[in-house]
């Protein structure tokens, strides 16, 4: 029995995952290399920059040791790689905590924000796109054109501020844009790290209501800005399928419209999956801006603080985590894409 | 020249193209005549007239340090467009030859280059931009350089995709048979036929670059006060927005929207103009 035979005998999902996995390692290595080089790009001596006026020979030597700046570039890289492998991302100069600990503490806040934004963005984009294609020339079609154009031109941080002004300051219907939960309420016991899930699990409904309320404006901001592009691309894909022969055949055979739409959507799925992967990348970048506005206390705000305070270990750690996260998302997207399209041979 | 006239005629018949071009012309006017259009100095603080609402003296109000918002928006057009246009043109000039070479020659070097480009693109663009600018120093030119690096893969990929389909076409084979050198084939025969998607992309990328610049400045990883820059201006007003002081952030944000919109509309029009299926009536 040859290798290829036993390979083909494996279940298809497993084959897809196994053929994709080896590519992740050189990419991860690249990500580690880039984050490593980041601090080396600093003009001049980074220790002097970070310590400023408080620099003494001992403190400089200490910080050089702490940042792994001793030895040749190659030795430094090996040292850094070893540390990363052990989950040691250095110590934040600002919070004095290990960067890895800081990041893990803040990750759920950002993930919860991205999770709900992605959910809402996909629903809004796909619904608008489908209606616009199925009923061309209708009001939704017209609205979606203007929205698609405008959404790409609106800065997310600006629309977030406008929402705060109109819905919180003027109308008073939105909850205060500070943090993930009402400060008078206690955060639910951390199980998943998502306040909405945790408060549901704890049966704490006032915490649930508060955390959903606090999510409303930031999620709305991210959705409004990102759904436009996704909608336009979904529209292009779906319109192509909608005009194809097999859809015309289904209509000629008298299938109900609902079933035809479902079948057309099923066939537009692979490109949409890819787009959603890119969307996560965009949302992560946008979260940096939106978290700052809403004092969200997640990874994005941590990154902004590290930029403002010249806290390079923290910034380095954030870039590493964000890039690794995106690589994994792209991996999942690739796997889902091949799962959704049975024609692809693995 | 006739093509320019033709494009103008094409523009006049399309509302979207007309709006885009008008907005662009307004921005060029603001750039050229900024010192005459502005009513106040864009960088002089005046604590006495801090946070004044729009009035006859300060048309769009003043920010927390008393700087005139209207004048700053006008002057910021220079900074924002300077950064974005330079960055995208640089990315275009570097990305196009890379894409041409990578598409034309198929060897280990071009495979490696594509891998590197893929790799750059796999980073979350805003996160990478933020980290690079804060490491290199928060200067106007560093923002432009970082944006250029982030946009090079976009152009290289677009050109490469075109070259890959063009190089198999009979007219290229004919050129090769008649003894044309590789360089001649690439630059004289392939390049002119491969450029259209990239030219459309220039306009769209400038819009994206404006948004990225503004975002970087907003979080404090771009240019610094008192440089007049739209994103920075929105950020200056972000603290007061919640107190009902809307004018500090609203107007610079509108400037960003109009500017990005103008380049998006222009890109769309250029694409339609070059579309071979367009009726040339």
Predicted confidence at residue B206, as pLDDT, reads 93
CB contact under 8 A, B253 and A158: yes
| Contact by Cβ (8 Å): B223, B217 | yes
pLDDT, tens digit (0-9, with 9 covering 90-100), for B241-261:
888 788 888 899 999 999 999
Is the CB of A93 inside 8 Å of chain B's CB atoms? no
> Residue B239's CB: how many other CB atoms inside 10 A?
12
Q: How confident is the model at residue A119 (pLDDT cuts 50, 70, 90)?
A: very high
Cis, bond preceding B226 (omega within 30 deg of 0): yes
Nearest partner of B204 among B266, B137, B144, B145, judged by Cα: B266
Q: Do the Cβ atoms of B119 and A288 come within 8 Å?
A: no
Q: Which pLDDT tens digit goes with each residue over B196-232?
A: 888 888 988 999 999 999 999 898 888 887 888 998 9
Contact A158, B256 (CB under 8 A): yes
Chain A hits for B128, CB-CB cut-off 8 Å, are: 319, 323
Rounded CA-CA distance A84/A100 in Å is 10
- Which residues in A lie closer than 8 A to residue B135 (C-beta atoms)? 38-39, 41-42, 312, 315
Nearest 10 degrees: Cα torsion A128, A129, A135, A138: 50
Beta carbons of B219 and A288 less than 8 Å apart: yes
Closest partner residue to B249 (CB to CB) among A27, A158, A307 is A158
Region A271-287: mean pLDDT is 86
Q: Is A171 on the interface with B (CB under 8 A)?
A: no
pLDDT (tens digit per residue) in B120-130: 887 888 888 88
**Cβ pair A38:B235 closer than 8 A:** no
Which residues pair with residue A98 across a beta bridge? A91
Q: What is the mean pLDDT of residues B30-56?
A: 80
DSSP H or E run through A49: helix A46-51
The closest CB to that of B127, out of A168, A285, A327, belongs to: A285
Report the gap between the CA of A233 and the closest CA in chain B (Å): 15
Question: What ipTM, to 2 d.p.?
Answer: 0.86
Burial level of A156, CB count in 10 A (0-12/13-18/19+)? Answer: buried
CB within 8 Å: A289 and B135: no
Chain A contacts of B125, Cβ < 8 Å?
281, 285
The CA distance from A213 to A181, in Å, is 8
Test mutation, A26, A40, A44, A155, chain B, max B CBs within 10 A: A155
Query: For chain A, how big is the Rg over CA atoms in Å?
Result: 24
- What's the half-sphere exposure (Cβ side, CA atoms, 13 Å) at A344? 15
* Whether residue B279 has pLDDT greater than 80: no
Closest listed residue to residue A189, CA positions, set A201, A205, A181 = A201
Q: Are A288 and B130 in contact (CB under 8 A)?
A: yes
Question: Which residue in chain B has the smallest CA separation from A174?
Answer: B242
pLDDT, position A44: 63
Q: Report the length, in residues, of chain B.
A: 281
A301, HSE (Cβ side, Cα atoms, 13 Å): 21
Nearest residue to A32 via CA among A287, A272, A281, A327: A327
Q: Categorise residue B213: left if φ over 0, alpha if ψ from -120 to 50, beta otherwise.
A: alpha
Question: Which pLDDT value is given to residue A335?
Answer: 84
> What is the Cα–Cα distance from A173 to A223, expressed in whole angstroms?
19
Q: Which long-range contacts (CB under 8 A, 24 or more apart) does A166-171 make?
A: A167/A217, A168/A217, A168/B242, A169/B241, A169/B242, A169/B243, A169/B244, A170/B244
Q: For residue A45, what pLDDT is reported? A: 66
A184-232 tens-digit pLDDT: 777 787 778 888 888 888 878 888 888 888 888 999 999 999 998 889 8
Q: Which of A34, A157, A296 has the most B C-beta neighbours within 10 Å, making it the best mutation to test the interface with B? A: A157
B107 pLDDT above the threshold of 90: no
What residues contact A160, with CB distance under 8 A and at least 6 apart?
A: A217, A218, A221, A289, A290, A293, A294
Return the beta strands (E) in A134-250 as ranges. none
- Which range, A118-127, B40-49, B109-118, is most confident? A118-127
Q: How confident is the model at residue B91 (pLDDT cuts 50, 70, 90)?
A: very high
Which residues of chain A have a CB within 8 Å of the CB of B114?
Answer: none
Please report the DSSP string for chain B in residue order. -HHHHHHHHHHHT-HHHHHHHHHHHHHHHHHHHHHHH-SS-SS---GGGTTPPS-SSSTT-B-TT--BHHHHHHHHHHHHHHHHHHHHHHHHHHHHHHHHHHHH--SHHHHHHHHHHHHHHHS-HHHHHHHHHHHH-S-HHHHHHHHHHHHHHHHHHHHHHHHHHHTTSHHHHHHHHTT--HHHIIIIIIHHHH-HHHHHHHHHHHHHHHHHHHHHHHTTSS--TTS--HHHHHHHHHHHHTTT--HHHHHHHHHHHHHHHHHHHHHHHHHHHH-TTS---
| Pick from A112, A113, A119, A169: nearest CA to A290 | A113
- Sequence-distant (6+) residues with CB within 8 A of A251 are A260
What is the nearest CA distance from B143 to chain A, expressed in angstroms? 14
Task: Report yes or no: B187 at the A interface, CB cutoff 8 Å.
Answer: no
Q: Do A153 and B207 touch (CB under 8 A)?
A: yes
Q: A residues 189-248 near B, CB within 8 Å?
A: none
Closest residue in B to A26 (Cα) is: B119
SS3 A91: strand
Question: Which of B119, B135, B237 lies at the smallest CB-CB distance from A42?
Answer: B135
Across the A/B interface, how many CB contacts are shorter than 8 Å?
Answer: 132
Q: Which residue has the higher pLDDT, A101 or A67?
A: A101
**CB distance A284–B127 less than 8 Å?**
yes
Distance, first Cα to last Cα, chain B: 19
Torsion-angle region of B40 (φ positive above 0: left; ψ -120 to 50: alpha; else: beta) = beta
What whole-number distance in Å separates Cα of residue B115 and Cα of residue A82? 25
Sign of the CA dihedral B181, B183, B189, B190?
Answer: positive
Distance between start and end Cα atoms, chain A: 19
Query: Is pLDDT above 60 for A1?
Result: no
Average pLDDT of the segment spanning B229-240: 87
Using a CB-CB cut-off of 8 Å, the residues of chain A touching B229 are none
Question: In chain A, what percentage of residues exceed pLDDT 70?
Answer: 94
Q: B278: pLDDT confidence band, cut at 50, 70 and 90?
A: low
Report whether B228 contacts B40 (CB < 8 A): no
Contacts A281 to B, Cβ<8 Å: 124-125
Q: Identify which of A239, A258, A277 has the alpha carbon closest to the alpha carbon of residue A121.
A: A277
- Partner B, chain A 26-55, Cβ-Cβ below 8 Å: 27, 30-31, 34, 38-39, 41-43
Query: Min CA distance, B74 vs chain A (Å)?
Result: 19
What's the whole-number mean pLDDT along residues A160-186?
A: 83
**pLDDT tens digits, one per residue of A288-335:** 889 988 888 889 999 888 888 888 888 888 988 988 888 888 888 888
Confirm or reject contact between B221 and chain A (CB < 8 A).
yes
Average pLDDT over residues A107-125: 92
Angle CA(A110)–CA(B255)–CA(A293) in degrees, nearest 5?
Answer: 20
Among the partner residues A30, A154, A164, nearest to B257 by beta-carbon distance: A154
> Taking CB atoms and an 8 Å cutoff, what residues of chain B touch A320?
none
pLDDT of residue A331: 85
Q: What share of chain A is helix, strand, coil (3-state, %, to 5)?
A: 75, 0, 25
Instruction: Concatenate the DSSP letters of all residues of A256-288 into one string.
Output: -HHHHHHHHHHHHHHHHHHHHHHHHHHHHHHHH
Note the pLDDT of residue B120: 83
Q: Which of A28, A49, A158 to mutate to test the interface with B (most CBs of B within 10 A)?
A: A158
Q: Given CB atoms, is B209 within the 8 Å cutoff of chain A?
A: no
pTM: 0.87
Calculate how close chain B gets to A288, using CA atoms only, in Å: 8
Q: Which residues of chain A are within 8 Å of residue B136 when distances are taken between CB atoms?
A: 41, 43
Q: Is the pLDDT of residue B281 over 50?
A: no
| Cβ separation B135–A38 shorter than 8 A | yes
């Amino acid at each position: 029995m040859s290798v290829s035979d036993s390979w083909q005998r494996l279940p298809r999902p497993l084959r897809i995952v196994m053929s994709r996995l080896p590519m992740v390692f050189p990419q991860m290595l690249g990500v580690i290399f880039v984050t490593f080089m980041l601090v080396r790009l600093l003009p001049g001596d980074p220790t002097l920059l970070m310590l400023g006026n408080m620099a003494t020979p001992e403190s400089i030597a200490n910080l050089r040791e702490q940042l792994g700046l001793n030895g040749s570039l190659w030795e430094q890289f090996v040292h850094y790689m070893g540390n990363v492998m052990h989950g040691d991302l250095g110590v934040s100069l600002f919070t004095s905590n290990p960067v890895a600990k800081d990041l893990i503490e803040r990750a759920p806040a950002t993930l919860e924000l991205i999770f709900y934004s992605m959910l809402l963005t996909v629903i809004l984009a796909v619904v608008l796109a489908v209606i616009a294609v199925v009923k061309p020339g209708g009001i939704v079609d017209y609205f979606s054109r203007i929205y698609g154009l405008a959404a790409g031109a609106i800065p997310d941080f600006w629309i977030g501020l406008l929402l705060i002004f109109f819905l919180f300051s003027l109308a008073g219907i939105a909850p205060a844009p500070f943090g993930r939960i009402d400060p008078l309420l206690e955060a639910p016991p951390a199980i998943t790290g998502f306040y909405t899930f945790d408060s549901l699990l704890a049966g704490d409904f006032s915490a649930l209501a508060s955390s959903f309320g606090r999510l409303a404006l930031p999620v709305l901001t991210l959705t409004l800005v990102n759904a436009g592009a996704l909608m336009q691309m979904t529209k292009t894909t779906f319109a192509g399928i909608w005009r194809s022969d097999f859809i015309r055949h289904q209509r000629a055979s008298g299938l109900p419209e609902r079933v035809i739409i479902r079948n057309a959507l099923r066939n537009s799925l692979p490109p949409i999956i890819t787009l959603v992967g890119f969307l996560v990348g965009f949302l992560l970048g946008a979260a940096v801006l939106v978290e700052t506005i809403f004092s969200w206390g997640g990874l994005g705000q941590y990154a902004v603080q590290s930029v403002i305070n010249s806290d390079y270990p923290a910034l380095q750690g954030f870039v590493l985590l964000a890039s690794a996260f995106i690589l994994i998302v792209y991996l999942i997207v690739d796997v889902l894409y091949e799962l959704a399209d049975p024609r692809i041979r693995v | 020249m006739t093509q320019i006239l033709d494009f103008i005629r094409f523009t006049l018949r399309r509302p979207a193209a007309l709006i885009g071009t008008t907005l662009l012309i307004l921005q060029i006017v603001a750039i050229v005549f900024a010192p005459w259009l502005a009513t106040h100095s864009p960088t002089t603080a005046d604590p006495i007239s801090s946070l004044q609402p729009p009035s006859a003296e300060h048309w769009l109000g003043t920010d927390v340090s008393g700087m005139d918002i209207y004048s700053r928006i006008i002057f910021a057009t220079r900074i924002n467009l300077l950064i974005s246009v330079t960055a995208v043109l640089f990315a275009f000039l570097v990305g196009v030859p890379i894409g041409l070479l990578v598409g034309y020659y198929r060897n280990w070097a071009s495979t490696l280059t594509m891998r590197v480009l893929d790799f750059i693109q796999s980073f979350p663009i805003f996160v990478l931009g933020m980290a690079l600018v804060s490491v290199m120093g928060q200067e106007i030119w560093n923002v432009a350089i970082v944006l250029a690096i982030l946009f090079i893969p976009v152009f290289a990929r677009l050109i490469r995709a075109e070259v890959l389909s063009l190089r198999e076409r009979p007219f290229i084979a004919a050129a090769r048979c008649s003894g044309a050198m590789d360089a001649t084939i690439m630059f004289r025969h392939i390049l002119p036929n491969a450029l259209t998607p990239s030219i459309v992309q220039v306009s769209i990328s400038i819009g994206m670059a404006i948004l990225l610049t503004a975002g970087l400045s907003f979080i404090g990883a771009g240019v610094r006060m008192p440089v007049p820059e739209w994103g920075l201006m929105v950020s200056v007003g972000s603290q007061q927005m919640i107190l009902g002081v809307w004018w500090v952030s609203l107007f610079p944000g509108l400037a960003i929207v109009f500017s990005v919109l103008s380049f998006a509309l222009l890109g769309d029009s250029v694409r339609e103009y070059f579309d071979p299926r367009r009726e040339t009536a």
